[in-house]
Amino acid sequence: MKIILIRHGATQGNLEGRYIGSRTDEPLCEEGIQVLQRSHYPEACRVFVSPMRRCLETAKVIYPAVPPQIVNDFRECDFGRFEGRNYAELNGREDYQAWIDSGGTLPFPGGESRLMFASRSVSAFQQLLPRMKNTNALIVHGGTIMAIMEAYARPKKDYFAYQVHNGSGFILDPETGDWTGLNQMTA
């Protein structure tokens, strides 16, 4: 069994470096759609997605013939009061500096902690595993991918070691932890 973990295509907020979490149901931007359309991805028998619009739209572009199955707990982290803002807008704020100084371990003010988010994502993944056979695709968020990879990939690495760009990700064998990077394969 192989699992293809793909971060959704780019949204306008992604291009602007904004924290786009579970509170903003932003669509893909035209540039994000075009990049996905020019890219090649491995085939998948089943596609599991976050309920967020950007993930559903990505699934439709990459796997139009495979009906996506929504997994609610694959939604992005709740970034609380940082939602929709970027570094330039947050820089100098005391709560943002405290979060940065913690290495991202403090909860987002008014939102989730990385530990809560990762636990939710990994638990949803573990519940899916018995239903998976052959090759499955997960079209989710960068944080969801980082949480799953931190829990399953070998050799073990830190959460942030698994950051990926929009439309990229990993192919993972959850039984062995073997993985390879999945970069956009453009024509």
pLDDT tens for each residue of 82-120: 999 999 999 999 999 999 999 999 999 999 999 999 999
Domains of the chain: 2-186 (3.40.50.1240)
Residue-wise pLDDT for 32-51, tens only, equals 999 999 999 999 999 999 99
Strand (E) or helix (H) holding 151: helix 142-152
The pLDDT score that the predictor gives to residue 61 is 98
DSSP classification of residue 184: -
Strand (E) or helix (H) holding 15: helix 12-15
Q: Are 77 and 21 in contact (CB under 8 A)?
A: yes
Altogether, the residues listed in the chain come to a count of 187
> What 3-state class would DSSP assign to 58?
helix
Q: pTM for the complete prediction? A: 0.94
